[in-house]
Amino acid sequence: MQNLLETEKNIPKLLDKYIHEEEERLVQLKKLSEEYSKKNEKSLENGMNDIVNPINAFLLIKRKIFDWKEIESKMNANKAGNLVSSITDDNYGVRYPTADDLSGAAIGLLRLQDTYRLDTKDLADGKIYTDQGNYTFSAKDCFEIARAAYNEHDFYHTVMWMEEAKRRLEDEGENPTADVEDILEYLAFALYKQNNLKHALKLTEELFKMNPSHPRAKGNVKWYEDLLEQEGIRRSEMRKNLPPVQNRRPDSVLGNTERTMYEALCRNEVPVSQKDISRLYCYYKRDRPFLIYAPIKVEIKRFNPLAVLFKDVISDDEVATIQELAKPKLARATVHDSATGKLVTATYRISKSAWLKAWEHEVVERVNKRIDLMTNLEMETAEELQIANYGIGGHYDPHFDHAKKEESKSFESLGTGNRIATVLFYMSQPSHGGGTVFTEAKSTILPTKNDALFWYNLFKQGDGNPDTRHAACPVLVGIKWVSNKWIHEKGNEFRRPCGLKSSDYERFVGDLGIGEEPRNAPNISPNLGKNVWETI
């Protein structure tokens, strides 16, 4: 979207240049036309003479061919094609948006509407919670959103947005932006699909009255009447006692229970008990020689499964460098197909991502080393740093980072075992939405720039921990940048020794089961003057 905004800026300049060139071309064309008509007059005067004399005849033919050619080529020299392609082609490294992009944006908006419970009218008025944006939707905009939903067979949103389009159209009075007949036809069909037959009939009759020669209205009235009849409704009753419109949200592929929890967590509406909160604490991680004088700040966000936030572990400059390195490589994110082990795109993960290798830049190498000091885990077998960028509506539905038992193929090619733990650096702070939520552990972590979230995906005995199921909430306002580091089992045999039971778990990062919990450890003169990125 940022790139698109840049190219938008160039359009007026290109248009001005085009208009200037066209004006010049038309002046030349006018001159040619004048010359041509002068010659023409003369040859008409000469009349038959020009044709019977072989020299004159030759010159006439020549004139017809060459003079006209010049005019023809000037007429065809319109550079509109060049201008259009310089805007729509991949000139600035930006793909020009297509109709698919528009429907993608519409579907993204609907996802936001559901997750954050936004009212259709408010959204169309440009209002998000208390933020009043600068733009509002016309009836046509609402119609296009509804149509995108319709094309996905999502009749729930079709009804909402066609109704809004209809309302807006009434307000537009003399200057309608959409066609009322189209709205009525789509709306009637969507209402029928949502089991509101009487309403569908009513609207279709309205359409028929408006335009008796509408190609489908009459037939559809009969069709809806027949359907109502099949439901045992008498003709005299079909236009009476209209019940309120019912518009049930379709079932989710996630299952409605998980989706409800996911969305409530995204809205940060799921309370954590006071008892649980009171156990949480922060500490300085000083369990490595390097960290004695430059400890890492750790905030325990949750026990069981343990989740901690490493505070201030990446600088603004490092974030900027990583973003610049990633930008040219960003591509639509893929996921592992559990059946084939191959990478595929999926609607449940909408973001752009790129991988950065340690040798590409010393910042990447430094960050990798820092993760070792943060987690006490082996970086040699970890995946490269993955950078992800979520635009508006970008999200990742609930999932596990580790492969489940039946997905044995997922990391086979890496040969480093399963994903033992995840580090998630927050490289921006969206103003609304974009949280990381755990649907089983029922916790919400809102991104805080320069911090990194960490959790173990596997129990110490090696099985995946089902309570690590998590998701990236759709971004409502702002941009979300994160970096992922997935750490694997191999090489961690001594860094994270096996436990026997799933109840064997860490109380803090790098807990080997021996020694004091840092809760009770004295905080002796840590070098508070410096942040970790200044030392490592």
- Chain residues binding ligand AKG by CB under 6 A are 388, 396, 401, 424, 436, 470, 472, 482, 484
The SS3 of residue 302 is: strand
Cis, peptide link before residue 305, omega less than 30° from 0: yes
Closer to ligand AKG at the Cβ: 208 or 396?
396
User: What Å distances lie between residue 80 and 14, 15, 27, 73, 85, CA to CA?
Assistant: 11, 9, 17, 15, 8
Listed ranges 155-163, 398-406, 488-496, 512-520: which one lies at the site for Fe ion (CB under 5 A) = 398-406
The item of ligand AKG, Fe ion, none sharing an interface with residue 482, based on CB under 5 to 8 Å by kind, is: ligand AKG
- Measured in degrees and rounded to the nearest 5, phi and psi for residue 368 equal -60, -45
Name the 3-class secondary structure at 371: helix
Q: Which residue, 164 or 401, has its beta carbon nearer to Fe ion?
A: 401
**Minimum Å distance from CB 254 to ligand AKG?**
15
397 near Fe ion (CB under 5 A): no
Shortest Cβ 323–ligand AKG spacing (Å): 15
Instruction: Name which position in 401, 407, 451, 506 contacts Fe ion (CB under 5 A).
Output: 401
Quick one: 141 or 401, whose CB is closer to ligand AKG? 401
Q: Which long-range contacts (CB under 8 A, 24 or more apart) does 139-142 make?
A: 139/165, 139/166, 139/168, 139/169, 139/172, 139/176, 139/177, 139/178, 139/183, 140/165, 140/177, 140/178, 141/177, 142/168, 142/178
- Window of 47-55, 145-153, 399-407, 450-458 that interacts with Fe ion by CB under 5 A: 399-407
Q: Which of 397, 380, 336, 362 is nearest to 487 (CA)?
A: 380
Which of ligand AKG, Fe ion, none does residue 484 bind to, with CB < 5 to 8 Å depending on kind?
Answer: ligand AKG
Say how far apart CA 527 and CA 534 lie, in whole Å. Answer: 11
Residue 424 CB, shortest distance to ligand AKG, in Å, is 6
Q: Are residues 433 and 112 in contact, defined by beta-carbon separation less than 8 angstroms? A: yes
Q: Which is nearer to Fe ion, 204 or 375 (CB)?
A: 375
Q: Least distance in Å: CB of 351 to ligand AKG? A: 8
- Give min distance, CB of 391 to ligand AKG, in A: 13
Nearer to Fe ion (CB atom), residue 83 or residue 307: 307
**Which pair of tokens denotes residue 322?**
């990583």
Task: Report the relative pairing of strands 335-336 and 475-477 from DSSP bridges.
Answer: unpaired
Residue 422 C-beta: closest distance to Fe ion, Å: 6
State which residue, 301 or 470, has the beta carbon closest to ligand AKG.
470
* Amino acid at the residue 50: D
Closest CB 262 distance from ligand AKG, rounded Å: 12
DSSP assignment, residue 377?
A: -
436's contact among ligand AKG, Fe ion, none, with CB below 5 to 8 A by partner kind, is ligand AKG
DSSP 67: I
When the beta carbons of 478 and 499 are compared against ligand AKG, the nearer one is: 478
